[in-house]
Amino acid sequence: MSISSGEKFRSLSAAEFFYRNKEIAGFSNPVRAIYQAVRELVENALDAADSHGILPVIKVSIDSDVVPERPDIYLISVEDNGIGIPPDNIPQAFAQLLYSSKYVLRQTRGMFGLGAKMAVLYGQLTTGKPVEVISSTINSSRIYIFRLSIDVKENRPVILYKASLRKESDWHGTIVKLFLEGDWNRAKPKIYEYLKRTAIIAPYASIVFKDPSNNIVYFERSTTLMPKPPREVKPHPQGVDMELFKMLIQSSTTKTLKEFLVKEFQGIGEVTANSIINTVKLDPLKDPRNLTAEDIELLVKTLKAYDNFKPPRADHLSYLGEEIIKTGLKSILKPEFVAAKTRRPRVYEGHAFIVEAGIAYGGDIPPAEEPILLRFANKIPLLYDESSDVTWKVIEPKSGTIKWDIYEIKWPSPLVVLVHICSTKVPYKGVGKESIADVPEVEKEVENCIRDVARELKAYIVRRRKEFEEAEKAVSIVKYIPDIASSLAKITNESSHESIANMLMDLVLKKFKNVKIKGVGDVVLSVE
Ligand code: ADP
Ligand code: MG
């Protein structure tokens, strides 16, 4: 058998690669595509506002019947009041894959430089229509309008239309409009759920959504308390590999190895730098650009093995905090009880992360055979692949790490568990950003954090039960109040036995403020 020598080799552009592998980024079919497109645009919109200290106002709409004889094509429009995009960056931001302002060590919802472009690419492939972007930055006196498509072969933006107009108001922000083939009816529950969860995690945002049937949902801002915006950080030496080390050398302006180590990493001061340089036996004055591959390998190895660094800094992370979590849960779920906990920062593989959890119980939450889990990473709701997520492994009632009966929970129970993981590097399982891998350090923190809030819930349940039992006791005694009151009235020559009865009743009711006593004044009394 002879082997053909006619194989043709060529490389793919990034756009062509993702065009062929759309499912990697979550665009696998018309149901997922419309959900994913909304999600990517909303996440960009929120990033553009809250990462810069602006209280977000986000308007989302989906319209149908926008192309004659194509009922499967929808128009998605997302508007924000964020910082806007400079006109020179708009074409690449929306029509060149792997172009991003988020390729730095800073906690954002985006990170792959793919989201907006995948939506544009999918829209272009299924409808042949360009994306429209309207944007104005905060200090600009003009509003820019672009219509763009992607040259897939070259991975370059094609500008089909460009215009600008003078700004008459102080509006700043971005509006993105794109057409795509979707399946609204099947995506509808997920999109609604996504927006509801976004409103829970960002109660400081005002979000309006209009669906294709012109139903309007308004998630009103319920607090003006906002998380501290994230800040960019230098890499921690223990999270660095050869490639990152080389990239840091390329972008650094430092002249000596010692200066390079001190300036480009967090947690390395003069003393630590000296000790590392001594270990590797290199010249501290050597120009970092002249380091050989062997030098770099040795340095990376030494940095990884050195165990005397300060832990990675976490003050750059943007966590929500207990107040915001509680407000979000209360305003959307209307439970009877909430608790929240933000844990101290921890580290995995040189990356700082913070876990926060919330618990909501009772009230409008329907009882179920398992907890309703609300997962978030860097403020993004994660909706798919729940069963493979690290948190599910912890809370699953049958085989999970947490045994709920310790916390007085018996199934069915009206229980919602919220978990938020934030980090400059969230250990997602795939670029679709849908579930979190079971990194041991993360798993432990998730468990501990849920236990923290579950303990508060337990205390509440125990307290309530005690109150309930006492109220039941009271109810059995309260029945005799009318008789007692009239006997007392006789003894004391008091004319109105009713005022005595009311007094005694008030005394009892004051004590059981939190327990509903039904039928007060009637003969039949019961406790709820
Ligand atoms: P990523 O969000 O991962 O960076 P995207 O393709 O979603 O990738 O977005 C690319 C870039 O476009 C972002 O990094 C951001 O700089 C810019 N961008 C996108 N949408 C907006 C928006 N609504 N407001 C401001 N900037 C935006
Ligand atoms: Mg994005």
pLDDT, tens digit, 9 for 90 and up, residues 413-425: 999 999 999 998 8
pLDDT at 4 over 70: no
pLDDT in tens, 36-93: 999 999 999 999 999 999 999 999 999 999 999 999 999 999 999 999 999 999 999 9
Geometric angle at alpha carbon 123, from 121 and 128, rounded to 5°: 100
Residue 520's pLDDT is what?
58
Range of weakest confidence among 52-56, 105-109, 116-120, 472-476: 472-476
Range of weakest confidence among 171-175, 253-257, 341-345, 492-496: 492-496
Residue 267's pLDDT is what?
87
Residue ranges, CATH 3.30.230.10, the chain: 322-454
CB 322 within 8 A of CB 340: yes
Ligand minimally distant from the alpha carbon of residue 49:
1
CB 140 within 8 A of CB 167: yes
Domain 14-219, what architecture?
2-Layer Sandwich (3.30)
Ligand 1: atom nearest CA of 45 is 23
Residue 489's pLDDT band, with cuts at 50, 70 and 90, is confident
Q: Could you give phi then psi for residue 421, rounded to 5 degrees? A: -115, 125
Atom 15 (ligand 1): residue with closest C-alpha? Answer: 101
Residue ranges, CATH 1.10.8.50, the chain: 237-305
Best of 47, 90, 172 to mutate for ligand 1, by most ligand atoms within 8 A of CB?
47
Residue 9's pLDDT is what?
83
Q: Could you give phi then psi for residue 134, rounded to 5 degrees? A: -120, 125
* DSSP-derived 3-state class of residue 268: coil
Residue 1's pLDDT is what?
53
User: Nearest Cα to 391, choosing from 365, 414, 371?
Assistant: 371
The residue type at 479 = K
Task: Determine the Cα–Cα distance for residues 302 and 285; give it in Å rounded to an integer.
Answer: 18
In the Cβ-directed half-sphere of 297, how many Cα atoms lie within 13 Å? 3
CB 368 within 8 A of CB 412: yes
pLDDT at 453 over 60: yes
In this prediction, residues 474-480 reach a mean pLDDT of 81
User: Nearest Cα to 329, choosing from 161, 470, 453, 145?
Assistant: 453
Beta strands in 242-371 (DSSP E): 337-342, 346-348, 351-361
Residue 406's pLDDT is what?
96
Atom 8 (ligand 1): residue with closest C-alpha? Answer: 113
Q: What is the mean pLDDT of the chain?
A: 91
pLDDT at 493 over 80: no
pLDDT at 283 over 70: yes
pLDDT at 523 over 60: no
Residue 525's pLDDT band, with cuts at 50, 70 and 90, is low
* 102 Cβ inside 6 Å of ligand 1: yes
Rounded to the nearest angstrom, the distance between the alpha carbon of 109 and the centre of ligand 1 is 10
Given CATH 1.10.4030.10, say whether it is the number of domain 237-305: no
pLDDT in tens, 145-173: 999 999 999 999 999 999 999 999 999 99
In this prediction, residues 137-149 reach a mean pLDDT of 97
Task: Determine the Cα–Cα distance for residues 177 and 147; give it in Å rounded to an integer.
Answer: 10
Residue 2's pLDDT is what?
55
Share of the chain above pLDDT 70, in %: 97
Task: Determine the Cα–Cα distance for residues 136 and 131; give it in Å rounded to an integer.
Answer: 17
User: Nearest Cα to 64, choosing from 283, 212, 255, 248?
Assistant: 212
Ligand 1: atom nearest CA of 109 is 2
pLDDT in tens, 295-322: 999 999 999 888 888 878 788 899 999 9
- Strand order of the β-sheet with 57-63 is 156-166, 142-151, 131-136, 173-181, 73-80, 57-63, 206-210, 216-219
In the Cβ-directed half-sphere of 141, how many Cα atoms lie within 13 Å? 1
Rounded to the nearest angstrom, the distance between the alpha carbon of 237 and the centre of ligand 2 is 27
Dihedral-angle region of residue 379 (phi above 0 means left; psi in -120 to 50 means alpha; beta otherwise): left
Residue 3's pLDDT is what?
61
Tokens standing for 176? Answer: 């993105």
Residue 452's pLDDT is what?
97
Ligand 1: atom nearest CA of 101 is 14
* 113 Cβ inside 6 Å of ligand 1: yes
CB 355 within 8 A of CB 319: no
Rounded to the nearest angstrom, the distance between the alpha carbon of 115 and the centre of ligand 1 is 8
In this prediction, residues 202-216 reach a mean pLDDT of 97
Task: Determine the Cα–Cα distance for residues 265 and 257; give it in Å rounded to an integer.
Answer: 12
* Residues lying with their CB under 5 A of ligand 2, a single-atom ion: 44, 110, 115
Domain 322-454, what architecture?
2-Layer Sandwich (3.30)
Residue 521's pLDDT band, with cuts at 50, 70 and 90, is low
* 395 Cβ inside 6 Å of ligand 1: no
* 190 Cβ inside 6 Å of ligand 1: no
CB 123 within 8 A of CB 62: no
pLDDT at 475 over 90: no
Give pTM, 2 decimals.
Answer: 0.86
Higher-confidence residue: 20 or 218? 218
Rounded to the nearest angstrom, the distance between the alpha carbon of 384 and the centre of ligand 1 is 23
Residue 498's pLDDT band, with cuts at 50, 70 and 90, is confident
Rounded to the nearest angstrom, the distance between the alpha carbon of 376 and the centre of ligand 1 is 20
Task: Determine the Cα–Cα distance for residues 388 and 384; give it in Å rounded to an integer.
Answer: 9
In the block, residue with structure tokens 């180590």: 261
CA distance from start to end of the chain: 83
Residue ranges, CATH 3.30.565.10, the chain: 14-219
